């Protein structure tokens, strides 16, 4: 579910209305899904504000639940059946995902408490679904590139190379 939504976000042009609609829905849901302390969660003005933002984002879609057989496991599943034709149909990508399907996926992630794992990479901005929950980068290469660009890493690398060259110099002298 999360990987499918991330794939849709990455395939949709960032300046499109569909992308803005989904991001406008995901952001308040992520804030609502973040851990808060005890009773403050129900009373907070921030919670009321973000709930209203999420509701406003959902008003854009007309979704009617229905049941359908799940392929392969012989059970019935609840599916979202979009009965409204979007004014500007979005291109079908990643197995037939439209904007309304992406909104339904975002809502399912919110319901299951996993919406906070949908993230933009800290380096390249690609969307990804954090499997372990702690990832900040979409790939190891992005993580490495970000780390190697820090001053701390440069100092570490310079110290290592000084020690390495000194060691090699001593080895040459002893030969």
| Segment 8-56, tens digit of pLDDT | 888 888 888 888 888 988 898 888 876 654 445 556 788 888 888 888 8
Cα–Cα distance for residue pair 101/64, rounded to 1 Å = 12
Model pLDDT, residue 61: 77
pLDDT at residue 129 in the model:
92
Q: What is the pTM of this model?
A: 0.66
Q: Would you state the pLDDT for residue 95?
A: 53
pLDDT at 94: 44
pLDDT tens sequence across 103-155: 888 888 888 888 889 999 988 999 999 988 788 999 999 988 988 888 888 89
Q: Please spell the DSSP secondary structure of 100-169, one letter per residue.
A: HHHHHHHHHHHHTT-GGGEEE-TTT--EEE-SSS---SSSHHHHHHHHHTSHHHHHHHHHHHHHHHHHHH
Q: Are 18 and 103 in contact (CB under 8 A)?
A: no
Bridge partner list, 64: 81
- Residue with the bigger pLDDT between 3 and 76: it is 3
Token pair belonging to 34: 């973040």
């Amino acid at each position: 579910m999360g990987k499918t939504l991330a794939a849709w976000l990455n395939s949709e042009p960032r300046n499109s209305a569909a992308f803005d609609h989904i991001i406008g829905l995901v952001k308040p849901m992520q804030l609502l899904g973040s851990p808060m302390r005890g009773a403050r969660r129900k009373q907070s003005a921030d919670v009321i504000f973000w709930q209203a933002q999420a509701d406003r984002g959902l008003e854009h879609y007309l979704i009617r639940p229905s049941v359908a057989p799940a392929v392969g496991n012989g059970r019935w599943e609840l599916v979202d059946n979009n009965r409204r034709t979007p004014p500007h149909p979005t291109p079908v990508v990643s197995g037939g995902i439209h904007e309304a399907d992406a909104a339904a996926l975002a809502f399912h992630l919110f319901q299951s408490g996993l919406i906070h794992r949908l993230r933009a990479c800290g380096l390249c901005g690609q969307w990804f679904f954090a499997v372990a929950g702690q990832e900040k980068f979409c790939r190891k290469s992005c993580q490495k590139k970000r780390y190697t660009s820090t001053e701390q890493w440069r100092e570490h690398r310079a110290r290592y190379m000084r020690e390495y060259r000194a060691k090699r110099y001593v080895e040459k002298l002893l030969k």
